[in-house]
Structure 1
Amino acid sequence: MDERKRLEELRGQIAEIDQEILHIIERRARVAQELSKLRPGTSRYAPLAEASDLQSLERAAPTQIPAAAIRPIFTAIDAACRSSEVAPRVVFVGAEGDFGWQAAREHFGHGPEFVRVEATGAALDEVTRSRADFAVVPYESFTEGPIFPTLLAIGGADLKVVGERELSQALVLVSRSGNLAEVEKVYTSPQDHVACVRYLELHHPRALVLDVRSPLMAWDLAAEEANAAAVVPRGFTGSRELKVARENIGDEGEVRIRYGIVSRLPAPRSGHDTTAVLFSVRDRPGALHDILHHFKERNCNLRRIHSRPIPGEGWEYVFYVEVGGHSTDRTLVAALEGVKREAKMLKILGSFPLERLDASPPPERL
Structure 2
Amino acid sequence: MAPKSSKPSAATGGKTKPAGKSAAKSAANASDKRATKPATAAPVLADVRAKIDEIDRTIQALIAERANFAHQVGKAKGKLAAAVDYYRPEREAQVLRMVVDRNEGPLSDEVLVHVYREIMSACLAQQEPLKIGYLGPEGTFSQQAVLKHFGRSAVGLPMATIEEVFQEVEAGNADFGVVPVENSGQGTIQVTLDMFLTSNLKICGEVELRVHQYLLSRNGRLEDIERIYAHSQSFAQTAGWLRSHLPKVEKIAVSSNAEGARR
1:33 to 71, 77, 85: 71
1:121 is displaced (CA, Å) by 0.7
Mapping of residues 227-306 of structure 1, within 5 Å: none
1:70 equivalent in structure 2: 112
Mapping of residues 118-157 of structure 1, within 5 Å: 118-142=160-184, 146-147=188-189, 149-157=191-199
Q: Which of the two has greater strand per residue?
A: 1
CA separation of 1:215 and 1:144: change in aligned 2, threshold 3 A: closer
1:20 equivalent in structure 2: 58
Q: Which amino acid aligns with 2:169?
A: V
Q: Which amino acid aligns with 1:33?
A: H
1:57 is displaced (CA, Å) by 0.7
Residues 48 and 78 in structure 1, CA contact (< 8 A), matched pair in contact too: no
Residues 93 and 120 in structure 1, CA contact (< 8 A), matched pair in contact too: yes
1:61 to 98, 103, 106: 103
Q: Distance in 2 between matches of 1:154 and 1:67?
A: 33
Q: Distance in 2 between matches of 1:156 and 1:48?
A: 25
1:190 equivalent in structure 2: 230
1:170 is displaced (CA, Å) by 2.6
1:43 is displaced (CA, Å) by 3.8
- The percentage of aligned residue pairs carrying the same residue is 26
CA separation of 1:203 and 1:149: change in aligned 2, threshold 3 A: closer
Q: Which amino acid aligns with 2:60?
A: L
1:45 equivalent in structure 2: 87
Residues 230 and 260 in structure 2, CA contact (< 8 A), matched pair in contact too: no
SS in 1 for 2:204: strand
Q: Distance in 2 between matches of 1:26 and 1:51?
A: 22
Mapping of residues 66-105 of structure 1, within 5 Å: 66-105=108-147
Number of residue pairs matched by the alignment? 211
Q: Distance in 1 between matches of 2:139 and 2:230?
A: 13
1:27 is displaced (CA, Å) by 0.3
Q: Which amino acid aligns with 2:54?
A: E
1:168 is displaced (CA, Å) by 2.7
Residues 79 and 110 in structure 1, CA contact (< 8 A), matched pair in contact too: yes
Q: Distance in 2 between matches of 1:68 and 1:46?
A: 21
Q: Distance in 1 between matches of 2:260 and 2:166?
A: 26
1:129 is displaced (CA, Å) by 1.6
Q: Distance in 1 between matches of 2:215 and 2:44?
A: 40
1:166 aligns with 2:208: yes
Q: Which amino acid aligns with 2:230?
A: P
Q: Which amino acid aligns with 2:168?
A: E
Residues 47 and 108 in structure 1, CA contact (< 8 A), matched pair in contact too: no
SS in 1 for 2:179: strand
Shifted more, 119-128 versus 196-205: the winner is: 196-205
Residues 46 and 108 in structure 1, CA contact (< 8 A), matched pair in contact too: no
Which structure has the bigger radius of gyration? 2
2:25 equivalent in structure 1: none
Mapping of residues 268-347 of structure 1, within 5 Å: none
1:322-344 Cα shifts (integer Å, max 9, x gaps): xxxxxxxxxxxxxxxxxxxxxxx
1:83 is displaced (CA, Å) by 3.1
- The CA RMSD measured in Å over matched residues stands at 4.1
- Bigger RCO (CA 8 Å, 6+ sep): 1
SS in 2 for 1:15: helix
1:66 is displaced (CA, Å) by 0.6
Q: Distance in 2 between matches of 1:165 and 1:214?
A: 19
1:11 to 49, 52, 63: 49
Structure 1-normalised TM-score? 0.48
1:68-109 Cα shifts (integer Å, max 9, x gaps): 112111011111222322112111113323211111111110
Q: Distance in 2 between matches of 1:120 and 1:24?
A: 40
1:20 is displaced (CA, Å) by 0.7
Structure 1's unaligned 5+ residue stretches are 175-181, 206-210, 222-366
2:4 equivalent in structure 1: none
Q: Distance in 2 between matches of 1:136 and 1:122?
A: 11
